Structure 1
Amino acid sequence: MFEDVYYKDVRKNKDVVFIDVRSPSEYEESTIPGAVNVPLFNDEERAEVGTTYKKVGREQAKELGLQIASRKLPDLISQIRKYADERKPVIFCWRGGMRSKSVATVADLMGIPCYRLIGGYRQYRSDVVERLGNYELKARLVTLHGMTGVGKTEILGLLHAAGEPVIDLEALAGHRGSTFGHLGMKPNNQRLFESLVVEELERLQNQPYIIMEAESKRIGRVNLPDFLLEKRNEGIHFMLHAPLHIRIERILKQYLVGTDDFHEKVSQSFRAIEKKLSPQNRSLAWQYIEERQYADFVGLLLVHYYDPRYKHSLQKYDVSFIQVDSTDLFACAKTIKEWIYENLFARPSFVK
């Protein structure tokens, strides 16, 4: 017989795999990070069962659900075997009810040892809210500042690859934070973002410091936890600088110029901010877009929109900045790492 477990009892177990048996749209909206979707019902079937429950009754809905599910059981079991491999499945639905119980029961009958998650995704979500609300961040935050295009994200990647404790909030949000920040990315909602933030913070909980990029309260569709913003102000702050032409090159590379729908998406996004520019610059920007002169378009926005806004936003920081040239990304990452080891740990630099 399958075993009922709480998320806290298995969340650090690397020998399990979470199986979300909710419908594809439920899974797409938010799930447990790392979970795979093996839906008992598709979206249309789920709606049909729900309508039957409301209009006819519980028993008739259960009967309809059984008819639909029975046809799928061989494929469901095959998928669970594939995803489980050498791991033990943790099966969950919305609240640990009939869907997860049915799948877990059949999996057990077919010789697949498994768990069922008590309370389902709803209880998991409550746990995330509680963990985030009571989280005590002990690590010191090292924050990278700089105008758009100086390479903050790239440097975070280099530091992460070098084994440094890094949290990339934009990657967790699925958004770069600007009007064009969704291009080439898939924005996450608040629930999934909070789940990912909690997992990352707990992964780094024993680190003496965490490196991150300076972000506003809101990134795309999500809001940062207040404690993270408050802790940031007490930390260490690096200000990165790079020439305008370097910044333009990095932005064009990062935002996937050349994709089929790039022109359309840039046009749509620009409409949201075009009135913030003078009539002359607005007209020139549209000319650059229509002529596909994206380098000139980016340069205009940096000089006349993003840079002024960034300089204004710096006024809220009552901190000292360590100035670093980020023209050479590798040299910049090395400088930051050396400063951290020399000043936080008072050790000679050993960075190669």
Structure 2
Amino acid sequence: MSELKVKQSDPQEQQLYRSLFLSKTPLIDLRAPVEFAQGAFPESCNLPLMTDNEREQVGTCYKKKGQEAAIALGHQLVASDIQNRIEKWARFKEENPTAWLYCFRGGLRSRLSAQFLKDNGVDINIVPGGYKALRRYLIEVNEQAADKKLIIVGGNTGCGKTLLIQALDNGLDIEGRANHRGSSFGKQVTPQPRQISYENQLAVDILHISQHSNTLVIEDESKAVGTLYVPPLLFAGMARAPMVVINDPLEIRLQRLCYEYCTLMTEKFSQALGPEQGWLAYDQYLHNGLFGIRKRLGTEKFKVINDVLDAALKQQQSTGSVAGHLNWIAPILSDYYDPMYQYQLGKKTGRVEFSGTYQEVKEWLTVNKK
């Protein structure tokens, strides 16, 4: 996203923003809930000065009658509940002594809120430039990451690419932060974040990694991760970066996928929805995932594999065993995922610097960390 791509942040302000994110400073976001829902920062808490309706009324007034009238209306609208809002800010500051606050531009809403707090005996710092400046800074972080040393981890489905990224202290987990595995079976129990929040979190991760490593290790992924998109310049950097490829045996890959798709997702759905509704949601998750690749498999093959999936679910429900799922996971690897990935990898062979088992690739990346 580049919706705030204007002049670059001031160097001193950049240092402040970097410090705020690296220290995980708690942030009071004064924007209205509708603004916060569009995108937020990892350590931010929405404690708005105005409700959505109040903000809308003030905005309309500003357009029709100007700033002075809008400010007067804003005071009038929040007057009856302002003490309650101040108490929430004060309580947050008491629980988080290092907290800062901001509104969209670090202007009127921030100054008014800080003054309200000060009148009630609470001092708090205002983020200069507000949300807009913080967001612009994180956009710059993502864009500049494309010029860092990037190493891309490839390999067939089930090779443990995401597991490896998560095991490395310089791994940038673009799938984990998107809350999606990046495949037809990638959907998680909880929803994906908003695009802006996703980009913000990736940028903060990059800042943390950059403290101890000049290299970012990222999974070989398409531009889209579920409904989200990898920041464009970062993705462009990934597309030209050197690669390492995991070549794990089929049996190990099958066991990993059976655990991720079946054992783990059964547990997650059950925990989130309860045993009965969780099972129905899990059943639907697997059927939807298979349905998503039906055209690639072909109608007849899809029907056969779908019957195998039904039998595996029946066995799992009656015995608790997920072993039957190997019987449908294996053919979707051999008939869809492996041929597709090998075709894509064939266009990248000139970028491959090392290949080996999961453990061998992990050791190579550790040695080449810097």
TM (normalized to structure 1)?
A: 0.78
1:42 pairs with 39, 46, 51, which one?
A: 51
Q: 1:300 to 1:90 in 2, by over 3 A?
A: same
**Structure-2 change in CA distance of 1:252 and 1:211 (3 Å):** same
**Counterparts in 2 of 1:216 and 1:10: CA distance versus 1, 3 Å:** closer
* TM-aligned CA distance change 1:186 to 1:144, over 3 Å: same
Selected match of 1:309 from 315, 340, 353: 340
Distance 1:106 1:339 in 2: 56
Question: May I ask how many residue pairs the two structures share in their alignment?
Answer: 329
**Structure 2 counterpart of 1:309, which letter?**
M
Quick one: percent identity of the two aligned structures? 24
Q: Would you tell me which structure has more helix in proportion to its own residues?
A: 2
**CA deviation vs aligned residue, 1:168-220 (integer Å, no higher than 9, x gap):** 11122232211332323432344323322322223222514333322223323
Aligned residue number for residue 277 of structure 1: 297
1:223-254 alpha-carbon deviations (Å, 9 max, x no partner) = 34435553674435132414253133233257
1:1-352 aligned within 5 A: 6=13, 8-13=15-20, 14=23, 16-53=25-62, 61-84=70-93, 85-135=95-145, 137-139=147-149, 141-157=150-166, 159-160=167-168, 164-205=169-210, 206-220=212-226, 221-227=228-234, 229-230=236-237, 233-242=240-249, 243=251, 244-253=253-262, 256-257=265-266, 259=269, 260=278, 261-288=281-308, 292=313, 295=325, 296-317=327-348, 318-320=350-352, 322-326=354-358, 332=359, 335-340=360-365
* Partner SS state of residue 172, structure 2: coil
In 2, Cα distance between the equivalents of 1:97 and 1:29?
20
Query: Does the CA contact (< 8 Å) of 1:151 and 1:250 recur in 2?
Result: no
Whether the 8 Å CA contact 1:218–1:224 is kept in 2: the answer is no
Instruction: Please tell me the residue identity of whatever aligns with 1:320.
Output: V
**Superimposed CA distance per residue, residues 126-184 of structure 1 (whole angstroms, 9 cap, x where no aligned partner):** 33334443456444x34322222222222333x24xxx322111122232211332323
CA-based RMSD: 3.3
Query: Partners in 2 of 1:35 and 1:198 — Cα distance?
Result: 15
CA change 1:82–1:265 in 2 (3 A) is farther
Counterpart-to-counterpart distance in 2, 1:131 and 1:343: 23
SS in 2 for 1:238: strand
Cα distance, 1:267 vs structure 2: 4.0
Q: Specify every segment of 5 or more residues in structure 2 that has no aligned partner in the other structure, as ranges.
A: 1-11, 270-277, 315-323
Q: 1:153 to 1:135 in 2, by over 3 A?
A: closer
- Cα distance change on mapping 1:321 and 1:240 into 2, 3 Å: farther
Amino acid of the structure 1 residue aligned with 2:357: D
1:21–1:91: 8 Å Cα contact kept in structure 2? yes
**Are the equivalent residues in 2 in contact too, given 1:263–1:289 (CA < 8 A)?**
no
> With structure 2 as the length reference, what TM-score do the two structures score?
0.75
Determine helix, strand or coil for the equivalent of 1:91: strand
Cα offset, 1:343, TM superposition: 6.5
**Matched position secondary structure for 1:215:** coil
Deviation at 1:118, TM superposition (A): 3.0
Whether contact under 8 Å (1:239, 1:324) holds in the other structure is: yes
Deviation of residue 93 (structure 1)?
1.6
| Contact 2:170 2:369 survives alignment (8 Å) | no
Deviation at 1:30, TM superposition (A): 0.8
